[in-house]
């Protein structure tokens, strides 16, 4: 069952079309990734789905509620984990949760029970009475997850949830996210600049570029779309015209002295490629990764510094819709 549906969803800022006729169905309990270069339209898409921005054209529903006509119901159906921590450092972990419960109108008779439940879920029961300023980065993110779940949302938006965390903490947080979707049937929409994270977490993902979805499938199926292995060669004067004539070479891309090829059965054909391309300084052959898929569809790598950090928090603080 689709918890999120978008039909021809469009957002224009003057003459700029940030999102163009986007169609999307995201199912209950699914971990869905939204990837794209900076300025591609992914943040604008999430902003419309979360009622922070009104669409220019088209429609969308979240948990059965229209994002334009039933914005307050949508907001009570969703939770956020911002890229930048938004909890109060002077309060304890539990006090932050209590404040969130008040803001969302959680029944106070049930609030304590719900706080205990979400604290257990993220393994912070023994730290709940410590002030937030004593929390590590990983603990803060886990409390943000707990806070986002306190009012029992049907949909949880995670904006770069593990940005800046060490590898061990990131993997632990991945476990909590998978647990939420599996045990609580929460639909999770995640934006990330870590390809490994998207590959590990997402049941499906969409790559957005220039306001449009250019690819949508499971990570495994997207990697299959490349149609071969990835061969990278360092060469000063490559003979690309000769290589492009080879039937088993599916794609050729040059970036300075680095030439990247997509090749069917690279192990079998590598020697022939080397004979045609010229004087190679070094060569690397490997199976495709999700990062290769991203480059294939957008022509550029995702870089951490391209992140649109803290967007949701800034929008809410300014009170924009």
- Four-point Cα dihedral 85, 177, 223, 34, nearest 10: -40
Q: Does domain 2-219+302-318 have CATH number 3.40.50.300?
A: yes
Q: Are strands 16-27 and 280-286 parallel, antiparallel or unpaired?
A: unpaired
Residue 81: its pLDDT value, please? Answer: 79
With the C-alpha atoms ordered 104, 110, 112, 117, is the resulting torsion angle positive or negative?
A: negative
- Domain extents in the chain: 2-219+302-318, 227-287
Going from the C-alpha of 285 to that of each of 219, 274, 308, the distances in angstroms are 20, 12, 33
d(CA 223, CA 198): 13
Residue 137: its pLDDT value, please? Answer: 84
**265 conformational bin, left if phi > 0, alpha if psi -120 to 50, beta if neither:** left
The ranges of the chain with pLDDT < 70 are 300-321
Per-residue pLDDT of 77-105, as tens digits, reads 998 777 777 788 999 999 999 998 988 88
Give the CATH number of domain 227-287: 3.30.70
Residue 121: its pLDDT value, please? Answer: 80
Q: Are 216 and 260 in contact (CB under 8 A)?
A: no
* pTM metric for this prediction: 0.80
Written in H, E and C, the secondary structure of 36-70 is CCCCCCHHHHHHHHCCCCCCCEEEEEECCEECCCC
Residue 302: its pLDDT value, please? Answer: 62
């Amino acid at each position: 069952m689709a918890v999120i549906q978008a039909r021809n969803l469009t957002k224009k800022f003057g003459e700029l079309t940030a999102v163009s006729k986007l169609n999307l169905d995201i199912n209950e309990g699914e971990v869905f990734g939204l990837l794209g270069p900076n300025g591609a339209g992914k943040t604008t898409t999430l902003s419309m789905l979360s009622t922070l921005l009104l669409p220019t054209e088209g429609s969308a529903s979240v948990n059965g509620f229209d994002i334009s006509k039933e914005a307050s119901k949508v907001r009570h159906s969703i939770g956020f984990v911002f890229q930048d921590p938004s909890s109060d450092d002077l309060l304890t972990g539990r006090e932050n949760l209590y404040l969130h419960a008040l803001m969302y109108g959680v029944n106070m008779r049930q609030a304590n029970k719900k706080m205990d439940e979400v604290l257990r879920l993220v393994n912070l029961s023994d730290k709940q009475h410590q002030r937030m300023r004593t929390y590590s980065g990983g603990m803060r993110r886990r409390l943000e997850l707990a806070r986002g779940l306190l009012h029992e949302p049907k949909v949880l938006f995670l904006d770069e949830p593990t940005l800046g965390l060490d590898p061990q903490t990131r993997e632990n947080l991945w476990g909590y996210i998978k647990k939420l979707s599996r045990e609580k049937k929460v639909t999770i929409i995640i934006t990330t600049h870590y390809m490994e994270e998207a590959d590990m977490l997402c049941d499906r993902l969409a790559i957005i570029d220039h306001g449009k979805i250019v690819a949508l499938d499971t990570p495994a199926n997207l990697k299959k779309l490349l149609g071969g292995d990835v061969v990278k060669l360092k060469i000063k004067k490559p003979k690309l015209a000769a290589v492009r004539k080879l039937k088993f070479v599916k794609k050729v891309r040059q970036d300075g002295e680095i030439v990247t090829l997509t090749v069917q059965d690279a192990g079998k054909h590598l020697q022939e490629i080397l004979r045609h391309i010229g004087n190679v300084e070094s060569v690397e052959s490997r199976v495709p990764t999700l990062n290769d898929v991203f480059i294939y569809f957008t022509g550029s790598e995702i870089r951490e510094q391209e992140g649109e950090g803290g967007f949701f928090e800034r929008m809410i603080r300014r009170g924009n819709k």
